[in-house]
Structure 1
Amino acid sequence: MTMARDIMHEGAQWIPRTETLDRAAQLMLRLDVGSLPVADPNERLCGIITDRDIVTKCVALGHDPAKVTAGDLCEGTPRWIDAEADIGDVLQEMREHRIRRLPVIDHKRLVGMISEADLARHLSDEQIAAFAESVYAASR
């Protein structure tokens, strides 16, 4: 049985909700990622921000990314998956919520992220096609 732990990208890092977006962008650049999980002071997931969020919800609106925090951009209930979850549960979570990145949690700690690229490396062409159709087709 393939689990979330088996397909995740290890080494994901939190960013505190109080961190500014310019610092978030610098960390994304250094880690070569397009998203960061956002944590509260108790290191609990409170959201995810993406490079696109920084551009469309801050810069494009004329806000200063040195003054806007990661927590300011977090919206809704953050989604995550347990490291021991089956790949079917991973796909269901991502399809149901139409998300492209999923934090992986083990014993209340962030241990990795699952992205579309991770899925592509571990699923059959048919599974990838079904995932893409369910996530993208409905978003038109």
Structure 2
Amino acid sequence: MGTGSSPRAPGAVLFACNFNRVRSPMAEALAKRLLGDRVYVDSCGLKAEAEAEGADPFVRAVMAELGFDLEQHQPKTFDELNDDSFDLIISLTPEAQHRAVELTRHRAAEIEYWPTHDPTLADGSRENRLAAYREVRDALARRLVERFGPA
């Protein structure tokens, strides 16, 4: 094996989910911390929620537990990306997977599907809901290390 960065690390990664308020912002933040400036990382969703602003409040809470500040995160759609020349698109929902396939139909990009539970479906107490979000956060963190190696 040669020296330098892992051959598994692309130059630009996009994480995609449905609304860019829960799963993809978590993955984006975790990947940025893991990969640093070696890889350009962004996230988006399929559509915007008209009344929603920023990352989901439970996402902000569970990410803050690890020192992440997602207060400034502004959800965006595929159509609002500043650049769409990604080497790797990781879709976290079936719907985002379908859009990723469409997006890459005429360009070379790798697509990976990481089925990720939707923690917004959790009900019960605030603590039960936070636990569901933590579970998704921690699963994404593990998957990122498996895919890209430790920091």
TM superposition score normalised by structure 2: 0.27
More strand by share: 1
TM superposition score normalised by structure 1: 0.28
